[in-house]
Structure 1
């Protein structure tokens, strides 16, 4: 399932990194594996409705209210995998946030939405309301769809009151990304002149994940982008380069993030999930 990426306007870059748009006709019910990527997203249909459901994972709370995808949903930060099922003319846009970008956008503790899929209208925010959604559902032109969404975000963001962001959080994220998740978490707080406890609390509030979990997800995404040949999984040098101590360490993350051990996953990797990771602008 191929997705087009559209970068966000520079004025939004600290909050929204871009938009993934998918437009594909699926005559038969299609299953897709969804794995954590460190980026919360707002997901919305355009150009009409289609059948869509997310299969339950006991660790994920799914609040999709109909088998027909006809409304906007918030996908919080995920710490584990999920599976979706779709059929029909699958037309969807993901507004992808920076790791800490959802916090100023919804102006509340984002950890409340971790491992959850929630109807966006439940948040009661003056954005992506019914009138806008009707416009989006009647529009099929890709560029016009992206323009509609971005104008709506800019209109909303311009009305927001000033909302303090702890800049230390962004610097920690930047360091974790630069090190591809291979970083000692214990020293981050002292390096910034704040306690580790304060860092953990603020990080979860603004990112929805702990620094350790975000590091694990980024490390895993980096592995997925570099794991072209399964033979590499037997190479100590490759595993070490990716930040894994040994195969058991690797298998633990694979099972947690995909639901499968590595070799079983590689027999039938999900192309759209891998493609998203390869093109995710946050990494």
Structure 2
């Protein structure tokens, strides 16, 4: 479920959209974020580790997103697995369209090894050169919904022409890890699939961009974050226990590794307007 911090709703207008049925195996959801007021002050957003690649498109009268080195990012970029929290800065109001992919989408949609884009991003228009008129149609679309429709068509075209789909064994292993929130014995999974540890790791690195062990850790962390969003705990130690962490200290270490904050700091210093993409309160 998407989470919107109502403290931010006065100037951030967020919506999520279910993809067409043909894209559901590859895309979790589309999202839009629009500034809804006169607040054009610089804003900093943090990207939380979530195990999913995606696309972000930002259109602004001022500069678009800049990374932590103040390098301007492409107007629309495709990003891979992120292994540590990163931040982006917007010079003013934000009008963005995004895609949250399924974990295997880089290979399933675009046909390249996901590991090639881990901790990185690239200009999506570079991948769209063979699609005549795509960029112009996307950037001149009259509304965010029209942009989503253009992106949907582009993704469907790529899927149809892609000959490097993820194999069923990897899809099964991925589904088992997701369904158990990362709480599955990888050794048992390897035995069931009759794969060695190295073989499963190689398949995951190609299809997902990270190892199955790291992906399991991210799934477990994301489940604990979901429980935090719902306030389904009285004490952090209860949340740590319910999420199968050894103790509260272990949970805090993992939480800080994937968000950049301790759980209490995260609650106080961020406003999660878009799921896994909070605005950092300065």
Give the TM-score range, shorter chain.
Answer: 0.7 to 0.9
Asked whether the 8 Å contact 1:103–1:110 carries over to 2, the reply is yes
Match for residue 32 of structure 1?
A: 45
Asked whether the 8 Å contact 2:56–2:76 carries over to 1, the reply is yes
For 1:276 and 1:221, locate their aligned partners in 2 and report how far apart those are by CA, in whole Å: 13
Query: Deviations for 1:239-275, whole angstroms, at most 9, x for unmatched residues?
Result: 2211211012112212211122222222223322547
The offset of 1:156, in angstroms, is 3.4
CA gap of 1:162–1:53, structure 2 versus 1, over 3 A, is same
The offset of 1:99, in angstroms, is 0.7
The offset of 1:205, in angstroms, is 0.6
Match status 1:153 vs 2:155: yes
CA gap of 1:143–1:122, structure 2 versus 1, over 3 A, is closer
Give the 3-state SS of the residue equivalent to 2:55 in structure 1: strand
Asked whether the 8 Å contact 1:45–1:136 carries over to 2, the reply is no
The offset of 1:121, in angstroms, is 4.1
Structure 2 residue corresponding to 1:41, chosen from 54, 63, 68: 54
Query: Deviations for 1:105-164, whole angstroms, at most 9, x for unmatched residues?
Result: 22111101111122234557635x7x4223322234232221121122223333x14334
Match for residue 234 of structure 1?
A: 237
The offset of 1:189, in angstroms, is 1.4
Deviates more, 1:246-255 or 1:266-275: 266-275
Match for residue 136 of structure 1?
A: 138
The offset of 1:46, in angstroms, is 4.9
How many positions carry a matched residue from both structures? 263
Equivalent residue runs for 1:45-56 within 5 Å: 45-46=58-59, 50-56=63-69
CA gap of 1:82–1:170, structure 2 versus 1, over 3 A, is same
Match for residue 60 of structure 1?
A: none
The offset of 1:15, in angstroms, is 1.8
Match for residue 90 of structure 2?
A: 86
Match for residue 257 of structure 2?
A: 256
For 1:274 and 1:82, locate their aligned partners in 2 and report how far apart those are by CA, in whole Å: 15
Match for residue 175 of structure 1?
A: 176
Give the 3-state SS of the residue equivalent to 2:78 in structure 1: strand
CA gap of 1:203–1:167, structure 2 versus 1, over 3 A, is same
Equivalent residue runs for 1:55-204 within 5 Å: 55-56=68-69, 66=72, 71-123=75-127, 126-127=130-131, 131-158=133-160, 160-204=161-205
Which consecutive residues of structure 1, in runs of 5 or more, have no partner in the other structure?
Answer: 57-63, 278-283
Q: Could you list the runs of 4 or more consecutive aligned residues of structure 1 that deviate by over 6 angstroms after TM superposition? A: none
Structure-2-length-normalised TM-score? 0.83
Asked whether the 8 Å contact 1:38–1:99 carries over to 2, the reply is yes
CA gap of 1:15–1:234, structure 2 versus 1, over 3 A, is closer
Match for residue 212 of structure 1?
A: 213
Structure 2 residue corresponding to 1:15, chosen from 17, 26, 41: 26
Structure-1-length-normalised TM-score? 0.83
Query: Deviations for 1:79-106, whole angstroms, at most 9, x for unmatched residues?
Result: 1101111133422111221111211222
The offset of 1:65, in angstroms, is 5.7
